[in-house]
Amino acid sequence: MTDEPLLGYITAARWFGGKGRDPRLIGVTPLPWLRPPGEWPAIRQEIAEIGYPGSDDHDFYQLVISYRPAGEVAGSVISTTTDPEHGELSGIDGTDDPAAHAALLDLLLSAADGPDGNRDSLVAHRLGSDPLTPGLPSRVFGGEQSNTSVLFAHLAIMKLFRRIEIGRNLDIETHDVLTRSGTGDVARLYGWIEGNWSAPDDGISYGADLAMITELLPDARDGWEYALAELRAGRGFSAEADRLGRALAHVHTALRANFPTATADGDQVAAIMNHRLDDAVAAAPQLAPYADGVWAVFAKLAGRQLDTQRVHGDFHLGQTLHTPDGWKIIDFEGEPAKTLAERSRPDSVWRDIAGALRSFDYAAAHHPDAAGDRSAADWARSCQDAFLAGYGVRADADPADDLDVLSAYVADKAIYEVVYEARNRPDWVHIPLTAVASIARRSQHVD
């Protein structure tokens, strides 16, 4: 069988990260059988390596494939293999197959509360004290995602990473630490699965986390959708914004206690932000009238030493869930455009705080009458003030202290947003551009 069906399946998927390029299938490495041939469907995970001619870039993607004897398959065949006993087998995407869900859950359950489970190049880790049992009913979560999530009854959700990163997954690493430290502002981690394999073309050994399973939060609401609903209904959101600020502060405290901390030179931070601004002006010329004012904001970082630590890295309302037990913060993988090394590096907590403030501004801009109704802007401002109060940022702080640093990080975030919107959603570019203009005017009264 040629590679075309499998390559076509991968490149057509929402989770494929090489759209617009010329992908080639370098090879596929099968991991150990979760269910061997003869126990139909036979299930296994496979790692597909994708390369791009003329580039050294290559990506790894996780597949879950359900195999049956050739001729007995219902569905689009994406892979074939030969078994010594059962002959040629045909495989289809197994992520919708309850048998595949059960096999993955069984692998996780193979890890006892103490020693980790080990199935050759598959290793399962389980923290214990969870409600997981074999045979739980399962279904695929139908929302738009860059990974695949499987719900097990009303108890747990397993996230299968599709485009996988070599090394420890930041989301798992962070949830592991926060769960063990008893932090109640995140979903509890129950366990995870890692894989190890050798690439078929060069024999290089790789290891990566393949899946994680956490508690399923009952009656959870997406934070972004919840905020929008309250705004459109004419209800205030300040109390919830205050609670969300407190939740982020609790998470930051736990991260600071469990991961390395450092300091960053304010002059260097300002230089990096200025460089990003220069690049942004080249990509989005509408920023040019405000550049001088924003440079002045960044200049106020000079001479400072900024505390840095592990942070969320991509914090906004869409990375939160509102539950009957309060806010839960999710998805600690960091900003997708950054490398793993950049995302795991200590950063300032102001990065996350700025993300939250910008998210309230975006929510207000989605009000049906946002363009001509000051109430939406007032709603955003009240949410921002309440969030800062909940986090512990004083509204009367010395202007030469926290608020100057916050302004720099808010400006840096808004500049990133202008470039993103100019490239992807031009009709939205006015949202962050208005924020940049306001920051610049406050700094140097730029018109």
**pLDDT digits over 188-210, tens only?**
999 999 999 987 777 789 999 99
Q: Which pLDDT value is given to residue 143?
A: 67
Domain range for residue 179? Answer: 98-215
What CATH number corresponds to the domain at position 391? 3.90.1200.10
Residue 337 pLDDT > 90, yes or no? no
Give 119's pLDDT tier (boundaries 50, 70, 90).
low
| Domain boundary residue, one of 38, 67, 93 | 93
- The answer to whether 329 touches 320, Cβ cutoff 8 Å, is yes
Q: Which pLDDT value is given to residue 402?
A: 83
β-bridge pairing 156-160 and 305-308 = unpaired
Q: Which long-range contacts (CB under 8 A, 24 or more apart) does 96-101 make?
A: 96/140, 97/41, 97/43, 97/66, 98/137, 98/138, 98/139, 99/35, 99/41, 99/43, 99/66, 100/34, 100/41, 100/43, 100/64, 100/66, 101/138, 101/150, 101/152, 101/158
Residue 428 pLDDT > 70, yes or no? yes
Q: Which pLDDT value is given to residue 115?
A: 42
For residues 424 and 373, state if they share a domain.
yes
Residue 116 pLDDT > 60, yes or no? no
For residues 333 and 242, state if they share a domain.
yes
Distance, in Å, from the CA atom of 121 to the CA atom of 212, rounded to the nearest integer, reads 17
For residues 406 and 284, state if they share a domain.
yes
Selection from 182, 110, 111, 108 nearest residue 150 by Cα: 108
Question: Which residues, in sequence order, are bridge partners of residue 197?
Answer: 206
For residues 280 and 428, state if they share a domain.
yes
For residues 266 and 253, state if they share a domain.
yes
For residues 238 and 186, state if they share a domain.
no
Residue 260 pLDDT > 70, yes or no? yes
- HSE on the CB side for 406, CA within 13 Å? 21
Q: Which pLDDT value is given to residue 447?
A: 42
| Domain boundary residue, one of 151, 180, 215 | 215
For residues 311 and 341, state if they share a domain.
yes
| Domain boundary residue, one of 76, 93, 110 | 93
pTM: 0.90
For residues 108 and 156, state if they share a domain.
yes
Q: Which pLDDT value is given to residue 437?
A: 96
- The answer to whether 436 touches 332, Cβ cutoff 8 Å, is no
Q: How many domains does the chain have?
A: 3
Selection from 144, 161, 160 nearest residue 152 by Cα: 160
How much of the chain, in percent, has pLDDT values that exceed 90? 81
Q: Which pLDDT value is given to residue 315?
A: 97
